[in-house]
Amino acid sequence: STASEAASAAASGASATERFAADKSPFEAVKDTPPERVDSIAKRVLGAVYDTIREEKVTYDEFNALKAWLIQVGKDGEWPLFLDVWVEHEVEKVATEHREGNKGTIEGPYYVPEAPEQGANGTIPMREGESGTPLTWHGTVTSTDGTALAGAKIELWHADADGFYSQFAPGIPEWNLRGSFTLGDDGAFEIHTIQPAPYQIPTDGSCGKLIAAAGWHAWRPAHLHVKVSAPGHELLTAQLYFPGDEHNDDDIASAVKPELVLAPVANEDGTVSVDYGFVLDPV
Ligand code: MBD
Ligand code: FE
């Protein structure tokens, strides 16, 4: 219903801002940045803005609409959403371009650390009768040299069959569709979950206003989020996608890579199986 979607859209923006504030101490990490670097980056960003204003002959009315919109993005708590949808993909590419192992992609705004542990062969927390096609996923976590990574951990989180994330939409149990899977010596796992639905970013907030004003759509393809970690290896943040999703080629968040599209197999009992493992780069 429109009313419950509106309620959850407003809530998810504010929750994502709270989540960000709780987990990251961003200024600490860059406190030794030399002024030359700040100067260079700030000048280039502003330069791109000046070029746009000159080339597009931006008017005062448009400038004032921008000011009002930027103020509202903050009031809606949608800065994490805006930055993760329209900026993070380029940061992620630069951060991981040296890797020889698995492709990764953006984290997005809805990760919560310390999801409940389910073991190497486990079912993600879900409601009784959780809707969606049951999905059995196996694979192995290895290093780039092929060694199985004992004690690797997979953190998995994803939307439900209606496209909503626990802790960011109301009325969903706290850890629904969020789980941690710590692997044994063979680095192997078998995870049971359900297939998520395509996800529409909130349309009733400031990001939605930009999307409507620009004539864009608000959709991301269905996806599973993961963080995969192992001692002595770089943390992998990725998402897995499903073949044939109409938004794989026009994800609003530009986060789909061909290496991250699964090859699921439909079983006779209506469930789906998929084999996909991860290759981590040594630190
Ligand atoms: C999501 O679920 C997501 O993964 C991203 C990147 C942005 C908004 C919602
Ligand atoms: Fe997501």
**CA–CA dist 109, 56 (Å, integer):** 32
Look at residue 24 in the predicted model and tell me its pLDDT: 63
- Answer whether 84 contacts ligand 1 (Cβ < 6 A): yes
Coil, helix or strand for 203?
coil
User: Which residue has the CA at smallest separation from atom 5 of ligand 1?
Assistant: 108
Instruction: Provide the residue ranges of all domains of the chain, joining segments of one domain with +.
Output: 2-280
Look at residue 239 in the predicted model and tell me its pLDDT: 98
Instruction: Identify the nearest ligand to the CA of 224 by its number.
Output: 2
Question: In angstroms, what CA-CA distances link 40 with 53, 83, 89, 270?
Answer: 20, 20, 21, 56
Coil, helix or strand for 138?
strand
- Answer whether 73 contacts ligand 1 (Cβ < 6 A): no
Architecture in CATH for domain 2-280: Sandwich (2.60)
Tens-binned pLDDT, residue by residue, of the chain (283 aa): 344 444 455 567 677 888 888 766 788 889 999 999 999 999 999 999 999 999 999 999 999 999 999 999 999 999 999 999 999 999 999 999 999 999 999 999 999 999 999 999 999 999 999 999 999 999 999 999 999 999 999 999 999 999 999 999 999 999 999 999 999 999 999 999 999 988 898 899 999 999 999 999 999 999 999 999 999 999 999 999 999 999 999 999 999 999 999 999 999 999 999 999 999 999 9
DSSP 120: S
Candidate of 199, 226, 248 to mutate for ligand 1, largest count of ligand atoms within 8 Å of Cβ? 199
Look at residue 11 in the predicted model and tell me its pLDDT: 66
**CA–CA dist 263, 130 (Å, integer):** 23
- Answer whether 169 contacts ligand 1 (Cβ < 6 A): no
What own/partner pairs with CB < 8 Å and gap ≥ 24 does 211-219 have? 211/252, 216/252, 217/250, 217/252, 218/252, 219/247, 219/250, 219/251, 219/252
What single letter denotes the amino acid at residue 113? P
